Chain A
């Protein structure tokens, strides 16, 4: 099977990366920002998978498998931190969470 879809995969992943970046920059809810980060990681994975088509060693797919593992760890720890911050600040709005340490 030839790889004629490759430019469209790249275009899709560029679009998804830009949308994820826009979500991270504009949204003020911490959980939506986390969703934007997941979108960006997924866009990178799509590139790796598209380039590793026809590869007998599957290096790109292996790399994106490890990216998935790291993304899972990141989102678990981020949610634990978000719950702790919500307990303290009583909000998840990023503009109101503006101090790291109690003054």
Chain B
């Protein structure tokens, strides 16, 4: 049963990522990116990372995607352009080069994954455990082993806030 759910979510993720690649309309790409992020959150749940799945939905779907859609809306004002072409339709260039590069990377990764026996290696690292809620463990880890990256990411967020406010100031 669980493998059918897994396959369904993998298909949802990959197909809607493919729509981002194929669609010419920027807004359609943004909305299929939403489906990609949701499918990926479901894959996180199936891998036993419940806190990360909720974080994915909160941050990506609730934050980054809304920001991207606002970016699309703010950069598509028609009327102040010399050519009549609308920016909501994106054209693609370098199709053959892009296909070659992406296909080459995929072939290389597939070759590596097919040759290395990752399942056995990973099973040798950790004992099989029943999946439990990870929220408490993540909180404890953040305050003990990962307290330096935690504080550093706080400073990074602060710097981002100041930088974004400075950049979006009028005639700076």
Contacts and interface: CB of A to CB of B under 8 A. Distances in A.
Interface of A: 1-12, 14-23, 25-32, 34-36, 38-39, 42, 45-46, 49-58, 61-62, 64-66, 68-73, 75-77, 79-84, 86, 90-93, 95
B90 A49 contact: no
Nearest to A54: B126
A32 B36 contact: no
A33 to B, nearest CB: 9
Nearest to B113: A10
Given A15-B106, A39-B17, A61-B52, A71 B81 contact: no
Most buried by A among B30, B71, B138: B71
B118 interface: yes
Most buried by B among A31, A38, A54, A82: A31
Most buried by B among A52, A64, A65, A93: A65
Q: What is the size category of the interface that chain B forms with chain A? A: 35 or more
Interface in B7-46: 10, 13-14, 17-18, 20-21, 26, 29-30, 33, 36-37, 40, 43-44, 46
Given A3-B119, A62-B141, A95 B93 contact: yes
A22 to B, nearest CB: 4
A57 B75 CA distance: 44
Contact of A19 (B6, B17, B81, B119): B17
A81 B20 CA distance: 22
Nearest to A57: B141
A84 B80 CA distance: 16
A17 B122 contact: no
Given A19-B20, A22-B99, A62-B146, A3 B160 contact: no
